[in-house]
Structure 1
Amino acid sequence: MATVTTQDLADHLGTCETPWLEFKSTAKREGKRGDAVGKAVCAMANDLAGHGGGDILVGVDDRGEPVDGVDTSDRALLALTDLRDDGRLLDRPSFTVQAAVYRGKPVVRIRVEASATPPVRFEGVVWVRPGPTTRRATRDDERVLAERRRSTDSPFDTQPLPASTLDDLDLQLFRSSYLPSVVDPDVIEENGRPLAQQLASLHLARSAEHPVPTALGLLVVGFDPSNFVPGAYVQFVRYQGTDLDAPIADDQELRQNIVDTAARLEPVLRGHLRTRLVESGLREQARPEYPFEALREVCMNALMHRNYETSYAPTRIAWFDDRVEVTNPGGPYGQVRSDNFDRVNDYRNPSLAAAMKSLGYVNRFGRGIGRIRAALQRNGNPPPEFQVDASSWSVTLRTAP
């Protein structure tokens, strides 16, 4: 049953649109570029007015009058809540959705908190509310948002690393691969922002005037992130046996940025992936030992969720004859616990998660474990085994019996 607040929001929020209050008659999508609610959530999270966020009331027309027939069912509320995880809003803002009352009639209230790491983008575009309307951000708007970003309580991935300089970033990779994947092409063409402002706007550097790379910038497009974030590399070992005493067939360290690591890791994994013959009716079919989708998902999630701030240990991939073990430093974070990790998601590195979603390494937030389980089941493998403690997280994939 949907929760309905008893207070009439007209008394609390007012009856006119403002920079922190927007009315929407319906939550339906508008056009192929996205939906108005998503843009409004983005604008409220960016909080250009400095109000601390804002509210969107679905079921109220632009004159401030409630409309009839507003769907406030649990299904409708969940559909709006899904905006948090579908990957179109990056970095993911915090907001709540609930049924409410406005001028005596049912509406849906979306309460959006101001982002600690603006600017937030919806489908690659920064939206703001300089007044009672939602608009695309100007260059100056984005500069204000980037400068407003809180440093004292921001996640590690958006903090500057003073020992680094822009020379430590692969700017060609940034221009050719990362920028087009994160920012709408029309915005890039229209605005022509200076490089330093582009980097600051995307959390890859702090301050457009005196840019210093952030941990995110080095992790995503740095030449060697481990020079400044010691644990930011992958150790891959292939054992010819089933224990750590077995002979080593392959031992590699991948010390590139996320983009280059992913490009190098794929052939490494595929190179060790063998096929097996299984019976299917009257025929035999060749199946891999492990579905590549599951291997990729486990490895990318390890890179996304690991603790880069206080651990110097790498992300480890240990490949044995009967299993693959992927271990990353950093136990449960935020709302996640050892007893709910497969149902609840939270992000130690929210900007890195957004970057990996934009680059295509993450399909959708909060779905990784489900995708791993489904891929293994389709391929005939046992379910994945998780070991979660206070300081580390490991996943074991086993070959089919």
Structure 2
Amino acid sequence: MSDARTLALIGELLALPAETAWVEFKENNTDAEMIGKRISALSNAARLADKPFAYLLWGVRDADHAAIGTAFEPTSAKQQGQPLELWLAQRLQPAVVFDFKAVDYHGVRLVLLEIPAATNSPVEFDRQAHIRIGSATPKLSDHPERLKALWARLQPYAWEAGIAAQFLNGDAVLERLDYAVYFDLTGQSLPDNRAGIFEKLAADGLIQADVGGYWNITNLGAVLFARRLTDFPPTIARKAIRFVAYDGLGRADVVTHRRDVQRGYAAGFSELVDYIDGLIPRNEYIGKAFRQQQPLYPAIAIRELAANALIHQDMTIRGTGPLVEMFKDRLEITNPGQPLVQPERFLDFPPRSRNEALAALMRRMRLCEEQGTGIDKVLVAVELHQLPPPDFRVEGEAVRAVLYAPRRFAEMTPQERVRACYQHAALKHVSGQRMTNASLRERMGIDPQNAAQASAIIKLALGQVLIRPADAAHPRAGYVPFWA
């Protein structure tokens, strides 16, 4: 928190007609237990009031809220032999990144404690959550109606609403965000004045008003529209999409191309897809009249999988972001975070995302599919080109989608054949049809006289309980996925 912002903030706090549930004044009361309970109470109260922070300000007279100064020294204060800040941090759950700041406010020494609002669960001190009601700080459990209301506020809290850059003037906001791309992709006319620009950016949660006429850029605004992600803290900068191409089949091979897309996702997404498309080898075939070139991987499959990686990543995992890797025989797209839906159900489950605001805005900008049909499009494109089935898998704390280069049926492994069978049955089912031996032969490029090969694959898929007969009494009725 900059000195200028701190002074402006204190001025606004002192101008309040009275203390609020998320603002409290003290003169010299520095009791550690009191501070711990107030952090819990104020943090919870700030979330209830839809405020990003709560504040405890020392050096203010209670009677008239005049700034008179304080002798409180939080950095040197101790409790039970420990530094005060460490003692407090050990007793707060979940962890709270509070910040003490001593300030010379017009010749008077004040101490400001900035407390972030509760995010995932009520903040507890010594395993007890508190809340502010007037000037009292009771246990939250004694007020079930407020506890219920707080949980209702906590549920929609999302990473996107966090602050990526704080206390910026208007020029700095427009320098960091590519606002022209925002208006272009959302189909809105660019306002003819700055006030109109800021109003639109704030309405979509890309910025929010700070004190003193300044602005904050939210995580959503930064990750989508940053001119340079490196202009923001590492929590944002490390979310850049990375592309790596290898001259071989593994990561130990020579890296031929490497690119970190430093623009925000909205501005950099098409740039990345075009860059990958330019590097993908082409297969040449003879059409009706001319030789034509076809990329190894369908463009729509790359686009949808890359968009899914952006939307469904767990933004709270630090130090990593979406990764696209191209090998000689495959393309791998990885995003951090455990999936909210099991990979084998990506096709039929309604879309779910940790980052609803990000997903909604990307859909508005038509950077990804709108009806939860992205995986459908990937599988349709793969089947149309008779490629090996894509593989969706969980690896540690990440989800990886793998597109494979063309291979003949004879070169596919038994497990790949079974996976293709399951995906084909699922795709048929969601389109109101049933998989048959004939449809599987067509999907796999098997000659009609080799129908026994398709039957063998179906038998393996039945044995692994990935598919089942659509009608047990009529074997020729076709097959459906196990969850149908």
* TM-score after normalising by structure 1: 0.55
Q: How does 1:199-348 map to 2 (within 5 A)?
A: 199-207=201-209, 210-226=214-230, 227-228=232-233, 229-278=236-285, 286-333=293-340, 336-344=341-349, 345-348=351-354
User: Within 2, Cα distance between the matches of 1:270 and 1:241?
Assistant: 18
The alpha-carbon distance between structure 1 residues 251 and 161, as it changes in their structure 2 partners (threshold 3 A), is closer
Residue 157 of structure 1: which of 154, 157, 160 is its match? 160
1:377 aligns with 2:379: no
**Corresponding position of 2:357:** 351
Q: Distance in 1 between matches of 2:322 and 2:307?
A: 10
Distance 1:312 1:275 in 2: 35
Higher relative contact order (CA closer than 8 Å, sequence separation 6+): 1
> Could you say what secondary structure the match of 1:194 adopts?
helix
Note the C-alpha offset of 1:190: 11
Tell me if the contact between 2:229 and 2:264 (Cα under 8 Å) persists in the aligned partners. yes
Cα distance 1:162–1:282, how it changes in 2: closer, same or farther (>3 A)?
closer
Structure 1 counterpart SS, 2:163: coil
Distance across 1 between alignment mates of 2:166 and 2:343: 36
Q: 1:204 to 1:289 in 2, by over 3 A?
A: same
1:287 aligned partner, one-letter code: Q
In 2, the alpha carbon distance for the partners of 1:192 and 1:283 equals 53
Per-residue displacement from partner, 1:19-42 (whole Å, max 9, x unpaired)? xxxxxxxxxxxxxxxxxxxxxxxx
- Match of 1:201, as an amino acid? A
Residue 198 (structure 1) aligns with: 200
Instruction: Name the residue aligned to 2:397.
Output: 391
* Matching of residue 366 in structure 1 with residue 369 in structure 2: no
d(CA) in 2 for partners of 1:275, 1:303: 26
The Cα shift of 1:308 comes to 1.9
- 2-side partners of 1:260 and 1:181: how far apart? 9
The aligned amino acid for 2:283 is R
> What is the identity, as a one-letter code, of the residue corresponding to 2:186?
V
TM-fit CA distance, 1:192 = 9.1
Q: 1:200–1:151: structure 2 CA closer, same or farther, 3 Å change rule?
A: farther
- Give the CA deviation at 1:394: 0.5
8 Å Cα contact 2:181/2:225 also seen in 1: no
Change (3 A) 1:273 1:354: same
Asked whether the equivalents of residues 232 and 255 of structure 1 are also in contact (C-alpha less than 8 Å), the reply is no
Larger helix percent: 2
3-state DSSP of counterpart to 2:164: coil
What is the letter of the counterpart of residue 158 of structure 2?
P
2:246·2:326 contact (CA, 8 Å) conserved in 1?
Answer: yes
Code of the aligned partner of 2:370: R
Given that residues 390 and 403 in structure 2 are in contact (C-alpha distance below 8 angstroms), is that contact kept between their aligned partners in structure 1? yes
CA contact (8 A) 1:302 1:327 kept: yes
**1:247-267 CA-partner distances (Å, limit 9, x unpaired):** 111122222211332243133
Q: 1:213 to 1:152 in 2, by over 3 A?
A: farther
CA distance in 1, matches of 2:347, 2:329: 24
Alpha carbons of structure 1 residues 182 and 193: separation in structure 2 relative to 1, 3 Å? farther
- SS at the partner of 1:314? coil
Structure 1 partner of 2:73: none
Could you say which residue in structure 1 is the equivalent of 2:186? 182
Q: RMSD of aligned C-alpha atoms?
A: 3.1
Specify the SS of the correspondent of 2:249: coil
CA deviation after TM superposition for structure 1 residue 372, in Å: 0.8
Residues 283 and 268 of structure 1: CA distance in aligned 2, closer, same or farther (over 3 Å): closer
CA distance in 2, matches of 1:246, 1:353: 35
Cα distance change of structure 1 residues 217 and 317 upon mapping to structure 2, 3 Å threshold:
same
Separation (CA, whole Å) in 1 of partners of 2:241 and 2:216 = 25
Partner residue, 2:22? none
1:52-71 matches, cutoff 5 A: none
Q: How is 1:28-43 mapped onto 2 (pairs within 5 angstroms)?
A: none
> Could you report, residue by residue, the CA deviation over 1:341-389 in whole angstroms, capped at 9, with x for unpaired residues?
3322211111111221122211313111111111122222122110125
Deviation at residue 161 of structure 1 after TM alignment? 2.8
Q: For 1:101-140, list aligned pairs within 5 A.
A: none
Offset, 1:239:
0.7
TM-score normalised according to structure 2 size: 0.46
CA contact (8 A) 1:274 1:288 kept: yes
Q: Distance in 1 between matches of 2:302 and 2:266?
A: 17
Asked if the contact 2:306/2:333 (under 8 Å) is kept, the reply is yes
1:268 positional shift? 1.8
User: Does the CA contact (< 8 Å) of 1:239 and 1:249 recur in 2?
Assistant: yes
3-state SS of 1:161 partner = strand
Contact 1:381 1:400 in 2 (8 A): yes
State the Cα distance separating 1:159 from its structure 2 match.
2.2
Alpha-carbon spacing, 1:173–1:283, altered in 2? closer, same or farther (3 Å):
closer
What is the count of residue pairs matched by the alignment?
Answer: 248
Identity %: 22
Do 1:219 and 1:232's aligned partners in 2 also have CA atoms closer than 8 Å?
yes
CA contact (8 A) 2:323 2:333 kept: yes
